Amino acid sequence: MDVYEIVTNRIIKSLEAGVVPWQKPWSSSTGRPCNYLTRKPYQGVNVWLTASAGYSSPFWLSFKQVSDLGGKVLKGEKGTPIVRYSKYTKTDADGNERELFFIRYSTVFNVAQTSGLDIEQPGEHVPNVNADAIVANYHGPAIIHGHDRAFYSPARDQISLPAPSNFNSPDAYYSTLFHELVHSTGHSSRLNRLSDTAFFGSEQYSKEELVAELGAAFLCAEAGISNEEAQSASYINEWLKVLKSDRRLIVSASSQAQKACSLILGLSVTERHGGDEE
């Protein structure tokens, strides 16, 4: 596989996952992706390659640079390819020299994939005591910051999020975190709600997304904050279509969301059901 194929496949994979490398869902004051040591911004396709990797931090380092700075790459982390042009001089049969360029790639790691480095963090996040207490009370999955999107991985039992300072407001950060916390309650070790067949666009997927939406709203109310998850017109229309096709969905999803929130809040079995019938 040549360098061009590696680069193209990576961009295609990102697009198929619903991530457009040249668009950012969260605002960031950090600027373009760059090497952390030189602060030289990446150019051309390297901008999209690093953007598609899924990290909110703009800082990247080679494996050697991480080691030289006294840090280490976290176990299991995979690097991101970037390309660079090299040149060499070729002499033809007549003794004439000419410079030729060829493309090659190397591997870099985002600082979010490392430990032991003292990396400056942009912006400021104002913690919310009530929301932080809810998160601390829940004995759930690991929460990893540094990605450029929010998602829960059942396989890893891990929540990935952008840095808190990259959200438009503290409420936006917590409402997004609560959404992913609710997803995590569906893990087989907890409420065992998640389905292996819940692919994007399926009925199971839609129901689980609705459970997470409702659960996040419940937790935001519990914390006394506003639910600031982005809601586009097309997004709302899609939910209207789903709910109109299944009149029971909102009731069953609300019940599942309440159970999820009760687990997160550490309520007893009686308190979890609260006397409601499914």
| Crossing angle of the two packed helices 129-137 and 249-265, in degrees rounded to 10 | 90
- CB-based contact 260:186 (threshold 8 Å): yes
Q: Are residues 133 and 261 in the same domain?
A: yes
Domain end marker among 115, 146, 166: 115
In angstroms, rounded to a whole number, what is the distance separating the alpha carbons of residues 165 and 126? 8
Q: Are residues 140 and 225 in the same domain?
A: yes
Give the pTM.
0.58
Burial status of residue 22 (CB atoms within 10 A of its CB: 0-12, 13-18, 19 or more): exposed
Residue 120 counted as domain residue: no
Tens of pLDDT along the chain (278 residues)?
566 667 667 666 766 666 555 544 334 445 668 888 888 878 767 777 887 787 878 889 999 999 999 999 999 999 998 887 777 788 888 888 888 777 788 899 999 899 998 776 555 678 899 999 999 999 999 999 988 789 999 999 999 999 888 887 888 899 899 999 999 999 999 999 997 655 555 677 778 888 888 888 888 878 888 765 554 445 555 666 776 777 677 777 878 888 999 999 998 544 444 433 33
In angstroms, rounded to a whole number, what is the distance separating the alpha carbons of residues 61 and 236? 41
Residue 162 counted as domain residue: yes
In angstroms, rounded to a whole number, what is the distance separating the alpha carbons of residues 141 and 115? 19
Phi-psi region of 55 (alpha: psi -120 to 50; beta: other; left: phi over 0): beta
Q: Are residues 77 and 139 in the same domain?
A: no
Domain end marker among 71, 92, 115: 115
The domain of 230 spans 129-273
Q: Are residues 70 and 167 in the same domain?
A: no
In angstroms, rounded to a whole number, what is the distance separating the alpha carbons of residues 215 and 212? 5
Q: Are residues 191 and 84 in the same domain?
A: no
Q: Are residues 102 and 192 in the same domain?
A: no
Element (H, E) at 174: helix 170-184
